């Protein structure tokens, strides 16, 4: 068995907590994310939301995460809108709850209290119809693991023993309540222990940009479906130069012309019609560990004569590599389609920023606090309403998704 296949099996085994069940996220869901710093930072990076928007059509997400939040410690400014009112304003169908990291610092001796607090959290939403029609659905999410950063994380193994115990406790509570559970602890630990690739965190427990890109693949996979249908899998294009055949997943291959054995200017050309959105490119130039390389959009060109070949799409350079590398597979996540995907993620982040300005503005004292009756305070509620309108407007624009196009692909030999 090839190593990439082993990787797929290993990662697939990490989604057992939601396997054999209906996808936790459904098309058209209005979603609220609540929880700690991990949840809060999801809105800044946008990788998870972009993936969900592409593969669960019609969804709308509001991120209510707050740095440092725990189940029983969720401090807010004076007169801050209640979470229930915000959930109702969004007509929330499903809540994704990310807790456990902060609570885990209480150690094993606080595990029973954590279980009880989780049960109380679930009970607090039982029977609530924030959308005005049906009972809200809950999804519990585990904390991530602690990464080995040397002197920065001297007690890493002990921390992970505790985090594993909290993850197991959350899983048991979710199972008893018959609600989905997303296990990010095992996923993140597996990736953190890979010897290749950048660090995932800044301090062992807070993900960096690369970490959010990496974790969001598995997070989205567990939220959408256990069987990983083709529409959620990365692009995979295979061209056989000798047989002059080509096929693609995510990109349909047509008008294939192969002229690489006798021609003075060897080349392969074809029309590539995108049928699914591309994967977001990794925010690093470093080599990726195998589990993450598996998630990249790839083209394989078999039986190329020796030489160096360059891929262009609609005339724009995408990749250059030797024939043997093309036979192994080349990542193609710097294509025109991938740039459009990054622009779409930027639009997701902008929508989140507009919502944040309307919900968690920096100058709360002028909106809900002691200065709300000042001249500037009296003007701010109107601005908040406008920011909320902008967030809703951006939300609507995001529903069209990343544009799928038909483009001209060309692989030609170049002198090196």
Domain holding 89: CATH number? 3.40.50.1110
Q: pLDDT band at 2, cuts 50/70/90?
A: very low
Beta strands 267-274 and 251-259 are antiparallel
Distances (CA, A) of 403 to 229, 251, 275, 340: 20, 13, 10, 8
Q: pLDDT band at 85, cuts 50/70/90?
A: very high
Q: How far is residue 223's CA from residue 168's CA, in Å, rounded to a whole number?
A: 18
Q: pLDDT band at 232, cuts 50/70/90?
A: confident
Q: Is the pLDDT of residue 411 over 70?
A: yes
- Mean pLDDT computed over 21-34: 90
**Exposure letters 97-109 (e unless 16+ CB within 10 A, then b):** bbbbbbbbeeeee
- Give the pLDDT of residue 367: 55
Q: Is the pLDDT of residue 4 over 60?
A: no
- Summarize pLDDT for 347-384 with one digit per residue, the tens: 999 999 999 988 886 665 555 555 566 665 565 667 77
Whether residues 70 and 206 share a domain: the answer is: yes
Name 310's bridge partners. 320, 412
- Give the pLDDT of residue 5: 41
Whether residues 282 and 316 share a domain: the answer is: yes
How many residues can be counted in the chain? Answer: 416
From the number of C-beta atoms within 10 Å of its C-beta (0-12, 13-18, 19+), residue 165 rates as middle
Lowest mean pLDDT among 5-19, 20-34, 360-374: 5-19
Q: pLDDT band at 241, cuts 50/70/90?
A: very high
Q: pLDDT band at 16, cuts 50/70/90?
A: very low
Q: Is the pLDDT of residue 1 over 70?
A: no
Q: pLDDT band at 238, cuts 50/70/90?
A: very high
Whether residues 174 and 278 share a domain: the answer is: no
- Mean pLDDT computed over 98-126: 98
Whether residues 168 and 75 share a domain: the answer is: yes
Q: Is the pLDDT of residue 29 over 60?
A: yes
Whether residues 19 and 67 share a domain: the answer is: yes
Q: How many domains is the chain partitioned into structurally?
A: 2
Phi, psi of 340 (to 5 degrees): -65, -35
- Mean pLDDT computed over 310-322: 97
Whether residues 283 and 415 share a domain: the answer is: yes
- Computed over every residue of the chain, the mean pLDDT equals 90
Domain endpoint, select from 169, 204, 231: 231
Whether residues 306 and 408 share a domain: the answer is: yes
Q: How far is residue 117's CA from residue 171's CA, in Å, rounded to a whole number?
A: 14
- Do 153 and 206 touch, CB atoms closer than 8 A? no
Q: What is the dihedral of CA 42, 48, 52, 53, to 10 degrees?
A: 70
Higher-confidence position of 376 and 299: 299
Q: For residue 373, give the DSSP letter.
A: T
Whether residues 259 and 143 share a domain: the answer is: no
Question: Quick one: residue 291, left, alpha or beta (phi over 0 = left, psi -120 to 50 = alpha)?
Answer: alpha
Whether residues 322 and 238 share a domain: the answer is: yes
- Mean pLDDT computed over 160-168: 98
Q: pLDDT band at 111, cuts 50/70/90?
A: very high
Domain endpoint, select from 231, 258, 279: 231
Q: How far is residue 136's CA from residue 121's CA, in Å, rounded to a whole number?
A: 13
- Mean pLDDT computed over 160-183: 98
Closest to 355 measured CA to CA, from 104, 93, 61, 115: 61
- Give the pLDDT of residue 369: 57
Q: Is the pLDDT of residue 6 over 90?
A: no
Whether residues 153 and 248 share a domain: the answer is: no
- Give the pLDDT of residue 378: 61
Higher-confidence position of 2 and 352: 352
Whether residues 328 and 257 share a domain: the answer is: yes
Print the domain residue range for 127. Answer: 3-231
Q: How far is residue 297's CA from residue 138's CA, in Å, rounded to a whole number?
A: 32
Whether residues 412 and 364 share a domain: the answer is: yes
Domain endpoint, select from 231, 258, 278: 231
| Cα first-last separation, the chain | 34
Q: Is the pLDDT of residue 76 over 90?
A: no
Q: pLDDT band at 250, cuts 50/70/90?
A: very high
- Summarize pLDDT for 115-151 with one digit per residue, the tens: 999 999 999 999 999 999 999 999 999 999 999 999 9
Angle at 341 between CA 271 and CA 247, to 5 degrees: 30
């Amino acid at each position: 068995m090839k190593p990439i296949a082993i990787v797929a099996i290993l990662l697939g085994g990490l989604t057992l907590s939601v396997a054999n069940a209906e996808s936790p996220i459904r098309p058209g869901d209005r979603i609220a994310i609540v929880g700690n710093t991990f949840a809060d930072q999801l809105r800044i990076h946008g990788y998870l939301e972009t993936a969900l928007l592409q593969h669960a059509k019609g969804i709308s997400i509001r991120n209510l995460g707050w740095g440092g939040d725990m189940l029983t410690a969720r401090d807010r400014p004076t007169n801050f809108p209640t979470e229930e009112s915000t959930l109702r304003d969004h007509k929330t169908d499903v809540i994704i709850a990310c807790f456990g990291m902060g609570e885990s610092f209480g150690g094993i001796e606080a595990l029973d209290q954590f279980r009880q607090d989780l049960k109380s959290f679930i009970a607090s939403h039982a029977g609530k119809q924030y959308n005005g029609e049906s009972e809200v659905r809950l999804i519990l999410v585990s904390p991530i693991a602690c990464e080995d950063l040397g002197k920065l994380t001297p007690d890493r193994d002990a921390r992970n023993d505790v985090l594993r115990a909290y993850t197991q406790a959350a899983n048991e509570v979710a199972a008893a309540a018959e609600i989905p559970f997303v296990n990010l602890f095992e996923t993140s630990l597996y990736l953190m222990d890979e010897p290749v690739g950048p660090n995932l965190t800044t301090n062992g427990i807070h993900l960096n940009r690369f970490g959010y890109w990496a974790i969001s693949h598995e997070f989205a996979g567990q939220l959408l479906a256990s069987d990983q249908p083709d529409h959620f899998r990365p692009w995979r294009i295979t061209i056989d130069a000798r047989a002059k055949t080509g096929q693609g997943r995510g990109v349909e291959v047509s008008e294939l012309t192969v002229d690489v054995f006798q021609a003075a200017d060897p080349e392969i050309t074809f029309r590539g019609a995108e049928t699914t959105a591309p994967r977001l490119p990794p925010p690093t130039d470093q080599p990726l560990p195998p589990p993450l390389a598996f998630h990249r959009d790839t083209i394989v060109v078999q039986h190329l004569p020796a030489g160096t070949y360059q891929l262009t799409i609609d005339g724009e350079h995408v990749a250059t590599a030797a024939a043997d590398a093309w036979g192994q597979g080349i990542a193609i996540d710097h294509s025109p389609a991938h740039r459009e995907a990054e622009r779409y993620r930027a639009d997701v982040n902008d929508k989140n920023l507009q919502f944040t300005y309307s919900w968690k503005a920096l100058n709360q004292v002028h909106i809900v606090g002691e200065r709300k009756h000042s001249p500037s305070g009296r003007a701010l509620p109107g601005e908040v309403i406008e920011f909320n309108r902008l967030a809703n407007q951006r939300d609507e624009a995001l529903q069209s998704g990343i544009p799928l196009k038909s483009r001209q692909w060309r692989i030609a030999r170049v002198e090196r």
